[in-house]
A and B are shown apart, each in its own frame.
Chain A
């Protein structure tokens, strides 16, 4: 989907904001969007694991995307939203600042990561899409959840 520039295929993205940056997640990977409720912190867990919570009888591991992307601490006043993701048979909730609209964008608009992209973001981005006045970073969900991968970058 990144380089497929010849066809007029469209991909739908759920847009979210993490630390003032606009991100898009391919809608096929998003299971649900929910308000994280009663998050249980897990002692000794990696810092990006915000805790675990009960989502309709399933235990979901909540990942604090700000910490994951090293984008500073969240403003406590505003409760986060969560994007439900399934990764290798397990349920995750990515905690983001806000969830925006769903955008349908042509695949050819998606460019490979530009060289000047913030390295913290670049390591989990599969591409970027230039919108009017801002940049939408397409998140590679697998890379987000494969935490061992960027030990060097982090």
Chain B
């Protein structure tokens, strides 16, 4: 692209942003001639430059807008309509500029519509005084400008430019309009290399002019060179330390200080004031205010707080989103505010400041705040937490549910409390840049979002660990805690054959050795002692076992070579303070490698309530393999098992013909996996503990064999009660047990508690899943919850059934199915008017925000993780209950 054009584009875009802000200010203070002058000048500059660069469309538009503003200057009253029209025009100018940037020429088309409106507006109110040709208020000089060096090829002298401005007539308007005041202002940076005089001429309000443009590449190079300088200095300091009497000592000290300052200075060059991201806010708030009929005042504090430009780019949209939300949902209407004894004008406050190594950004409003009751209800219905868990939570903890992916999808929460639209997306964006977001709400007093983000993206805090003699960095952000283990410590590494787990506060964490992950050396048994870096990725928590832990260090993340980028286990590399290069471990990569789904145990849920919501991964299923009764191995999905226990047989009691054991202060019934299992007379008895809402049951087995990750391919038709079918696991035929069969053996009412099946009339349910395993596992659960269940193996059969006239109260469908998938099925159902109203609940082992969004679009009423029996029943209850209401 032509240099001149590029410069013009950057300049103009910046100017337009300023005009946006100034216009809104002007509307509030119509008598402030200074603001008007400033706007006028900017628009005029744009017009002049367009004429010079031969951009007729832009020129015409700018000219028409300028004419209208000229009228303001001549005393025409400033109306909101007129300002809106000018803002509109500016939007059009921006569109054209965007095109121009892409194709390097103006797009076709014309703007007669806008120009006519502008001209009409100019004419509507006759100027109070006859339009003078030059206003007394104009500033600037007519003095010939001199450039302090010879012109370079392609450059234009300032005089020529000035002449061009004056001669740019403005294309003939459709209706005769008096040309506005002749330009008398020096152009703003008309060509590369502006003189300082320009800046002086442009008056106040534009601090940005004091700067020059430097390419990012130059900055990166500087940064690299400074890093090198720092390293060299460190080496020198090291030498001098060994020779304390050296005459270099004093000058080196000085060099050291200067280097530190230089480093800081270079880092600073990447920084931009956050005000740049806020620039569009006044305009947005103004538009919303008009649209919603609310009076809104926008306060901005700390606009000069600086942060890394990359970070700035990433938070722009989330911030805009939150401000919109505040205006739209947070603030009440003037009438409501009056009734609540609040000032009619609502306030949205944006503030930014430094705290520690972070920038804190607060978006606050004085609206109605979050409706905690509603959130609580929804969380309960969505199965994100149980009643008991919710009772223990503070208001703040409950409010955090708004960040859970998909939480806001329910219409209820958005229409009543009105909050939470897309907050999961906002949080996602902020997560990506290593930040965090918190919410603070006081009912009827207001709501604030507190965002904490690192100063720069390139520098992160990392834990330096060692394994097998090599050092690696693990981003501190994913590290929850460090656990030191040895044989005697409270936290022990336990083994279930190949799989090692850590029992940490009654939760079983899967463990993986960094050494094994990175294939450093042969596989060895898990060591008795070592350090466990407890890491969290989404809802998944796991422990990474390392040999040693050093310290936390701020590291500069450098991209990996293209030869190494395919290694998912690393996210980058860095140079440490001592000059050595180390790899940065990517916790996401590790999580994928482990591939366990950490969803559904009740305990996991309690701990990660806010984060859960089925971020579960992978298409393989973690299975717990054990032996019970016969030599044929048996398995259950690990996600259904709460804990694995080995209890002392002498503690098993027999009461009323049932085996019981004192477990965590309660009597827990024991159920044998089948009649051939014998409860041992002495020694340790292995148990699988299933717990749900305060109740626990122990399934007695002979021996726990292993935990495996396998794609489940079930052959249906197992013999004997409690067997779903068989599957080949690790090359061996294995029986898959039906957990649903055993639970009622311990408590007859297991599935009937919590008034799950209060509806007297059994509701009919159609269940579509290609996997026989899930059909068999879930139908008893659904039946127990009071539904009359019909199962079909694919979407086509489901549609055929519906076409044949069968009606169901609710449809539960898997998403990933061969042939027609769940999305397509939902679309087909929605397209059929006879059944379009039937609620649809989607089941999936994987749910990303995108799939949830897609699900919402095709018409899923709810979205439940596959193994989350509780959530499914809750969702069903909600959907069918709303059916009753609707009926």
In the assembled complex, the Cα of A63 lies from the Cα of B563 at a distance in Å of 10
Question: Considering only CB atoms, which chain A residue lies closest to B231 in the complex?
Answer: A57
| Contact among B227, B581, B583 with A53 in the assembled complex (CB-CB below 8 Å) | B581
Residues of A within 8 A of B570 (CB): 42
CB<8 Å pairs between A and B, sample of 10: A38-B579, A43-B520, A44-B567, A45-B564, A52-B561, A54-B579, A59-B558, A59-B581, A61-B563, A63-B563
Contacts of B562 in A (CB 8 A): 88, 90
| Residue from A42, A56, A57, A92 within 8 A of B583 (CB atoms) | A42
B residues within 8 A CB of A40? 470, 580-583
Kindly state the separation between the CA atoms of A132 and B158 in the bound complex, as whole angstroms.
67
A133 CB within 8 Å of chain B = no
A52 CB contact (under 8 Å) in B228, B569, B581? B581
A114 interfacial by beta-carbon distance below 8 Å = no
Residues A45 and B563 in contact, CB atoms below 8 Å apart: yes
> B581 contacts which of A43, A49, A54 (Cβ < 8 Å)?
A54
Query: Given that A43-B569, A54-B581 are known contacts, is A59 also in contact with B561, CB under 8 Å in the complex?
Result: yes
Give the contacts of A35-83 with B (CB-CB under 8 A): 38, 40-46, 49, 52-54, 56-59, 61, 63
Distance (whole angstroms) from the CB of B522 to the closest CB of chain A:
14
A92 to B561, CA, bound (A): 9
A41 touches B470 (CB 8 A): yes
Q: Which residues 549-576 of B sit at the A interface, judged by CB distance below 8 A?
A: 558, 561-564, 567, 569-570, 573, 575
Which of the residues B224, B519, B520, B582 comes within 8 Å of A58, measured between beta carbons? B224
Q: Are A59 and B567 in touch, CB under 8 angstroms?
A: no
- Chain A, interface size: which category? 20 to 34
Q: Is B225 an interface position by the 8 A CB rule?
A: yes
Determine whether B133 belongs to the interface, using a CB cutoff of 8 Å to chain A. Answer: no
- Using Cβ atoms and an 8 Å threshold, which residues of chain B touch A52? 561, 564, 573, 581, 583
Q: Sort A-B residue pairs by CB-CB distance and give the 4 closest, nearest first.
A: A57-B228, A43-B518, A61-B561, A57-B227
Find the A residue at minimum CB distance from B472: A43
Chain A residues positioned under 8 Å from B228 (CB to CB): 56-57
The residue among B224, B562, B569, B582 with the most chain A CB atoms within 10 A of its own CB is B562
Which chain A positions have C-beta within 8 A of B575? 54, 57, 59
Asked if A1 is at the interface (CB within 8 A of a chain B CB), the reply is no
Q: Which residue of A lies closest to B521 (CB)?
A: A43
Asked if residues B225 and A42 are in contact (CB atoms below 8 Å), the reply is: no
Kindly list 11 other residue pairs between chains A and B, CB separation below 8 angstroms, not including A45-B567, A54-B579, A61-B561.
A43-B569, A43-B583, A44-B519, A44-B567, A52-B561, A52-B573, A52-B581, A54-B581, A58-B224, A61-B563, A61-B564
Residues 367 to 420 of chain B near chain A (Cβ within 8 Å): none
User: Which residue from B224, B227, B564 sits with its C-beta under 8 Å from A42?
Assistant: B564
The verdict on A54 contacting B224 (CB below 8 Å), with A44-B519, A45-B567, A49-B564 known, is no
Asked if A102 is an interface residue, CB under 8 A from chain B, the answer is no
Task: Say how far B559's CB is from chain A's closest CB, in angstroms.
Answer: 9
B801 CB, min distance to chain A CBs, angstroms: 50
CB closest residue in chain A, given B226: A57
Binding site for B on A (CB under 8 A): 38, 40-46, 49, 52-54, 56-59, 61, 63, 88, 90, 92, 147
- Distance between Cα atoms of A147 and B561 in the complex (Å): 13
**Residue numbers in A under 8 Å from B558 (CB-CB):** 59
**Chain B residues closer than 8 Å to A43, beta-carbon distance:** 470, 518-520, 567, 569, 583
Contact residues in A for B563 (Cβ distance below 8 Å): 45-46, 49, 61, 63, 147
Determine the chain A residues whose CB is within 8 A of the CB of B579 once the complex forms: 38, 54
Measured in the bound complex, the distance between the Cα atoms of B520 and A92 in whole Å is: 24
Would you give the shortest CB distance from A90 to chain B, in whole angstroms? Answer: 5
Residues in B whose Cβ lies below 8 Å from that of A56: 228
Cβ-closest chain B residue relative to A63: B563
Task: A49 to B564: give the CA distance in the assembly, Å.
Answer: 9
| Number of residues from B at the complex interface, CB < 8 A | 24
Instruction: Give complex CA distance A45, B569 in Å.
Output: 11
User: Bound complex: CA of A90 vs CA of B580, how far in Å?
Assistant: 19
Q: Are A42 and B580 in contact (CB under 8 A)?
A: no
Min CB distance B577 to A, Å, is: 11
- Nearest CB in chain A: distance from B251 CB, A: 23
Which of A43, A45, A54, A147 lies at the interface centre, i.e. has the most chain B CB atoms within 10 A of its CB? A43
A66 to chain B, nearest CB (A): 17
In angstroms, Cα B581 to Cα A49, docked, is 15
| Most chain B CB neighbours (cut-off 10 Å) among A52, A56, A63 | A52
Q: What string of 1s and 0s marks CB contacts (under 8 Å) between B181-219 and chain A?
A: 000000000000000000000000000000000000000
B561 touches A90 (CB 8 A): yes
Shortest beta-carbon distance from A129 to chain B in Å: 29
In the complex, the chain A residue whose C-beta lies closest to that of B515 is: A43
With both chains docked as a complex, state the minimum distance between the C-beta of A111 and any C-beta of chain B, in angstroms.
Answer: 31
Contacts of A88 in B (CB 8 A): 562
Nearest CB of chain A from residue B766's CB, rounded to whole Å? 47
Shortest distance from the beta carbon of A147 to any chain B beta carbon, whole Å? 7
- Known contacts A57-B228, A59-B561, A61-B563; is A44 also within 8 Å of B569 by CB? yes
When distances are taken between beta carbons in the complex, the residues of chain B under 8 Å from A61 are: 561, 563-564
Within the complex, the shortest CB–CB distance from B176 to chain A, in Å, comes to 58
Minimum Cβ distance to chain B for residue A68 (Å): 11
Partner of A38, one of B567, B569, B573, B580: B580
Cα–Cα, bound, A61→B570 (Å): 15
Q: Which residue of B lies closest to A147 (CB)?
A: B563
Please name all residues of chain B whose beta carbon is closer than 8 Å to the beta carbon of A46 when the two chains form the complex.
563
Q: Which residues of A contact B567 (CB under 8 A)?
A: 42-45
A45 to chain B, nearest CB (A): 6
Q: How far is the CB of B305 from chain A (nearest CB, A)?
A: 29
Once the chains are docked, how many angstroms separate the CA of A45 from the CA of B564? Answer: 6
Residue among B470, B563, B569, B583 with max Cβ neighbours from chain A (10 Å):
B563
CA distance A46 to B563 in the complex (A): 8
A50 to B583, CA, bound (A): 14
A53 to B558, CA, bound (A): 13
A59–B569 touching, CB < 8 Å? no
User: Interface 1/0s, chain B 401-445, versus A by CB < 8 A?
Assistant: 000000000000000000000000000000000000000000000
Return the contact of A44 from the options B224, B231, B518 (Cβ within 8 A). B518
State the Cβ distance, A143 to closest chain B Cβ, in Å.
14
Chain B residue nearest to A58 in the complex (CB): B224
CB of B255, distance to nearest CB on chain A (Å): 17
Query: Contacts of A90 on B, CB cut-off 8 Å?
Result: 561-562
A67 CB to nearest chain B CB (Å):
13
Tell me, in angstroms, the Cα distance from A69 to B227 when the chains sit together: 35
- Nearest CB of chain B from residue A146's CB, rounded to whole Å: 10
> How far is A147 from B231 in the complex, measured between Cα atoms in Å?
33
Q: How far is the CA of A46 from the CA of B520 in the complex (A)?
A: 14
Question: What are the interface flags for B518-545 relative to A under an 8 Å C-beta threshold, 1 for contact and 0 otherwise?
Answer: 1110000000000000000000000000
Which B residues are CB-close (under 8 A) to A53? Answer: 581
Task: Give min CB distance, B8 to chain A, whole Å.
Answer: 29
Min Cβ gap B802→A in Å is: 50
CB distance from B29 to the nearest CB of A (A): 51
CA distance A59 to B564 in the complex (A): 12
* CB proximity of B469 to chain A, nearest CB, Å: 10
A45 surroundings in chain B (CB, below 8 A): 563-564, 567
Q: How far is the CA of A53 from the CA of B581 in the complex (A)?
A: 6
Interface centre among B225, B562, B581 (most CB of A within 10 A): B581
Q: Nearest residue in A to B468 (C-beta to C-beta)?
A: A43
Flag if A57 contacts B224 (CB, 8 Å): yes
Flag if B580 contacts A54 (CB, 8 Å): yes
Q: How far is the CA of A58 from the CA of B575 in the complex (A)?
A: 9
Q: Which residues of A contact B573 (CB under 8 A)?
A: 52, 59
CA distance A113 to B112 in the complex (A): 69
Give the residue name and chain of the B residue nearest to A46 (CB). Answer: B563
| A57 surroundings in chain B (CB, below 8 A) | 224-225, 227-228, 231, 575
Residues of the B chain whose Cβ atoms lie less than 8 Å from the Cβ of A63: 563
Bound together, the chains give a CA A38 to CA B569 distance in angstroms of: 22
Chain A residues with CB below 8 A from B520, complex form: 43
Interface centre among A53, A57, A92 (most CB of B within 10 A): A57
**Whole-angstrom distance from the CB of A19 to the nearest CB of chain B?**
21
CB-nearest residue of chain A relative to B229?
A57
